């Protein structure tokens, strides 16, 4: 599964790393890549993610969660 999370507020590479590490710490993912230029974080996983927890994790890192889409 691939989740694409819209996130606002990332300004630099450190912001991207902060989001990536927070997601890795809270979820069992295969790959995660935040992109500040696209305001997007792509998450690849074999498991369904708890979307409420995902929103909370993004907000706890200090960024604005704008929504998520999921692809099989």
Q: How far is the C-alpha of 72 from the C-alpha of 48, rounded, in Å?
A: 10
Q: What is the pLDDT of residues 2-58, one digit of tens each?
A: 999 999 999 999 999 999 999 999 999 999 999 999 999 999 999 999 999 999 999
The backbone torsions φ and ψ at residue 19, rounded to the nearest 5 degrees and listed phi first, read -65, -45
Q: How far is the C-alpha of 45 from the C-alpha of 28, rounded, in Å?
A: 7
| pLDDT at position 72 over 90 | no
Every domain of the chain and the residues it spans: 2-66
Quote the pLDDT of residue 29.
Answer: 97
- 3-state class (DSSP) for residue 65: strand
| pLDDT at position 59 over 90 | yes
Q: What is the CATH number of domain 2-66?
A: 3.30.70.100
């Amino acid at each position: 599964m691939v989740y694409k999370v819209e996130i606002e507020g990332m300004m630099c590479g450190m912001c991207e790393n902060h989001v990536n590490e927070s997601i890795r710490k809270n979820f069992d993912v295969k790959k995660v890549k935040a992109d500040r230029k696209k305001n997007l974080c792509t998450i690849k996983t074999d498991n369904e993610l708890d979307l409420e927890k995902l929103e909370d994790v993004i907000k706890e890192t200090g960024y604005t969660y704008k929504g998520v889409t999921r692809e099989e």
